[in-house]
């Protein structure tokens, strides 16, 4: 998926942006206090190479370059920093789900959730401005944060569902942005 397209400012779309955001990204505007299942046991046998705190900080700084301006209209800077840090912590240190040119799957070591078909999906917990928490599907959030307008318009046009976006690689625990099926 191409990234980094300049923002086309459409003021009429600013209204209700936050509400539409939750529907588009998480399929629901409902908040949840339920934490997703930890993936620790699931990944016991997987290769896990975590980023150091310094590597997380450097990665977050780098990903800011790819962030779409729509992300800053919904999230405060500290929320974006926190979300990017979660993503950086949830994939192997030598893997990047966001930078263009990724060919290989990037497996998610973070939280997991289940979709309507009881299939495991990569999940992420976002702390809202009012400190409530919302559990969402990682690939929907990644698409919101980084996809260009053309790709994101495709996602927004999809009917709301309680489901992650399908991955073209067939691995729903992959979070490589380029592998999202659009």
Interface with Zn ion by CB under 5 A: which residues? 105, 169, 171, 174, 176, 179
Give whichever of 108 and 144 is closer to Zn ion, judged by the CB atom. Answer: 108
Q: Least Å distance between CB 175 and Zn ion? A: 8
Give whichever of 114 and 169 is closer to Zn ion, judged by the CB atom. Answer: 169
Give whichever of 80 and 173 is closer to Zn ion, judged by the CB atom. Answer: 173
Q: Least Å distance between CB 169 and Zn ion? A: 3
Q: Least Å distance between CB 59 and Zn ion? A: 19
Backbone angles phi, psi at 92, to 5 degrees: -60, 150
SS3 179: helix
What would the two tokens of residue 7 be? 């923002």
Find the helix or strand (DSSP H, E) in which 134 lies.
strand 133-137
Q: Least Å distance between CB 56 and Zn ion? A: 22
Q: Which residue has the tokens 């893997």?
A: 95
Give whichever of 60 and 174 is closer to Zn ion, judged by the CB atom. Answer: 174
Q: Are 93 and 168 in contact (CB under 8 A)?
A: no
Strands (E), 105-162: 112-114, 120-127, 133-137
């Amino acid at each position: 998926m191409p990234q980094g397209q300049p923002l086309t400012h459409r003021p009429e779309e600013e209204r209700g942006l936050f509400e539409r955001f939750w529907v588009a990204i998480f399929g629901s505007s409902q908040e949840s206090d339920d934490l997703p299942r930890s993936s620790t046991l699931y990944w016991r046998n997987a290769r896990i190479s975590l980023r150091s705190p310094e590597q997380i900080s450097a990665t977050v700084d780098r990903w800011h370059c790819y962030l779409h301006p729509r992300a800053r209209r919904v999230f405060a800077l500290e929320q974006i920093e926190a979300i990017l840090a979660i993503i950086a912590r949830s994939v192997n240190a030598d893997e990047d789900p966001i930078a263009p040119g990724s060919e290989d799957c990037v497996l998610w070591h973070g939280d997991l959730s289940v979709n309507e078909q009881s299939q495991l999906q990569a999940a992420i917990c976002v702390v809202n401005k009012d400190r409530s928490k919302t559990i969402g599907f990682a690939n929907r959030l990644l698409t919101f944060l980084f996809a260009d307008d053309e790709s994101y318009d495709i996602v927004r046009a999809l009917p709301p569902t309680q489901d992650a976006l399908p991955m073209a690689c067939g691995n729903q625990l992959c979070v490589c942005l380029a592998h999202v099926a659009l």
